[in-house]
Each structure stands twice: as structure tokens, then as C-alpha cells.
Amino acid sequence: MSGMSLPPASPVTSVPAPPRWAVLAAHLTVLVVLPSGLWRILWVLGLPAGYTDAGFAPFETAGAKLWMLTLSVAGELVALLTLGLVRPWGEVVPRWIPLIGGRRVRPLAAVVPAAVGAAVLTALWAVMPLWWTQPHEDMTATGSVLVGIVYQPLVLWGPLTAAVTLSYHRRHRLAPHPAPAG
């Protein structure tokens, strides 16, 4: 990541470029979600990934596989949205998006959902460090350790999102915005 460059300030909104730490945090957000998503995809492919035969049986249905695939893809897409808080498309909606393309992103339209998401993710994953304190009869001993390892990074998802959201908010709160036309 040493070659990572900072995006320039948006010419439309005169918002300062995000600090290097915020860019790094946004990229880390995408990476912390990846291990658990890849592990769930192993289920979709029919690999027990640490479950006993009996424990894996509920995941062998088409509905369970669709749910695991959807959860993995959706989680990564939500994490990718964090990049919008440090990239130009978080300042101005890309032109290819119908009806709103080319318009300036209202800061609260990005900050409020990101802040709520950060709070929900923090609360949701805060118990993950306790994984090893609970028995997991449906898993092998190795599987239990593996699950703990691939899910532990999710503890960082909410706090990283909160930090990037705070940076976005500060940059937009301090930035002069052009007067509305008309």
C-alpha cells in the first residue's frame, strides 16, 4: 500500500483531500470483511470448512447456500462503500448513475448512514472476541479455531468505518461549499 496515492480535492466542492490514515482505514475496512466472506464461500462450494458432518448438514440446502453467498457479497459491497468516504465518488455522484449522476453528495447523506452503520457493526461484532469462551459442538476443534480467526477482524469493521466517517464529516464541515444555483 506504499504506492497508494491520495485523491485530489474535488474541484466541485473544494473539499480537502482525506488524510492518509483515513484512506488506509477505508482500505482496511474492505480487507477485514474478506476472510469471513471467503470462509462462507467455502460452504457454498460444499466444503464443511471446520463443521462436523452433522453441523454442516443445515448449510447443504440451496437456500442456505444462496444466503451465505448473498451475505458474503453484500458484506463486501457494504465495506466497499466506505471507500466512497475517501474517493471522489463520495463527493460527486458518478455521472453514469441515472437521475443523480454528476450531483454533489450532500455530506449528511453519506455521514448519517455511515455513522449508523458503524454503530451497528460495532455492536454486532463486539462479542466476537468471546468466541472461544463458548462451546461449538457442531464444529471440529480446528474449525472452531479457524472460525474465530477469520471472524475476529470483523471487530474492527465498525470502528474503522466510524473513523473514516468522522474524517469525512470533518472535511466537509470545514470545507466551503459553492452557493446553490438560482
Predicted TM-score (pTM) above 0.95? no
How many CA within 13 A on the CB side of residue 174? 9
Rounded Cα–Cα distance for residues 31 and 37 (Å):
10
Rounded Cα–Cα distance for residues 60 and 119 (Å):
33
Specify whether the CB–CB gap between 107 and 168 falls below 8 A: yes
Which of the four pLDDT bands, split at 50, 70 and 90, describes residue 65? Answer: very high
For 104-147, what is each residue's pLDDT tens digit?
999 999 999 999 999 999 999 999 999 878 888 899 988 889 88
Of residues 181, 174, 179, the one with CA closest to residue 9: 174
Rounded Cα–Cα distance for residues 40 and 71 (Å):
8
